[in-house]
Amino acid sequence: MSEHIDYSKNPLTEIYGENCFSDAVMKERLPANVYKRLKLTQEGSKALTIEIAEIVANSMKDWAIEKGATHYSHWFQPLTGLTAEKHDSFINPGPDGTVLLEFSGKELTQGEPDASSFPSGGLRATFEARGYTAWDTTSPAFIKDMKGVKTLTVPTAFVSYTGEALDKKVPLLRSMEAVNKGAMRILKALGNKTSKRVISEVGPEQEYFLVDESLYEKRPDLLLTGRTVFGTMSAKGQELDDHYFGAIKERVALFMHELNYELWRLGISAKTQHNEVAPNQFEIASVYSTSNLSTDSNQLVMEILKTVANRHGMVALLHEKPFAGVNGSGKHNNWSITTDDGLRLLHPGKSPEDNAQFLLFLTAVITAVDKYAPLLRLSAANSGNDHRLGANEAPPAIISIYLGDQLSEILDAIAEGRRYKKRDGQEMEIGVTTLPNFPIDMTDRNRTSPFAFTGNKFEFRMVGSSQSLAGPNVMLNTTIAEILSEFADRLEKAEDSLSEIKSIVKEYYSRHRRIVFNGNGYAEDWVKEAEKRGLPNLSCTVDALQELISDSCVTLFEKQQVLTKAELESRLEIYLETYSKQINIEAGVMVEMAKRLIAPAATRYMQEILDSVTAQKSLGIFAPGQEKLIKKLSLLINAVLGKSDELEIEITKALELENSVNEQAKVYRNFVVPAMEALREVGDALEKITDKSYWPYPSYEDMLFRL
One-letter amino acid at 366 equals I
pLDDT over 90, % of the chain: 72
Residue ranges for the chain with pLDDT beneath 50: 1-2, 434
Could you give the 3-state DSSP secondary structure of residue 279?
coil
Q: What share of the chain is helix, strand, coil (3-state, %, to 5)?
A: 50, 15, 35
Q: Residue 37 and residue 60: Cα distance in Å, rounded?
A: 16
pLDDT of residue 111: 84
pLDDT of residue 115: 64
Annotate 316-333 with b (16+ C-beta within 10 A) or e (fewer): bbbbbbbbbbbbbbbbbb
pLDDT of residue 484: 98
Closest CA to 91 of 78, 80, 107: 107
Q: What do you get for the CA distance between the two ends of the chain, in Å? A: 13
The answer to whether 146 and 71 are in contact (CB under 8 A) is no
pLDDT of residue 508: 97
Domains of the chain: 12-167 (3.10.20.70), 176-227+237-563 (3.30.590.10), 577-704 (1.20.120.1560)
Q: What are the DSSP E strand ranges found in 39-122?
A: 71-76, 84-89, 91-93, 99-101, 110-111
Closest CA to 220 of 596, 583, 686: 596
What does each C-alpha distance from 204 to 299, 331, 460, 461 come to in angstroms? 11, 6, 10, 10
pLDDT of residue 1: 41
One-letter amino acid at 209 equals F
Closest CA to 23 of 7, 38, 6, 9: 38
Burial class (CB in 10 A: 0-12, 13-18, 19+), 13: exposed
pLDDT of residue 2: 47
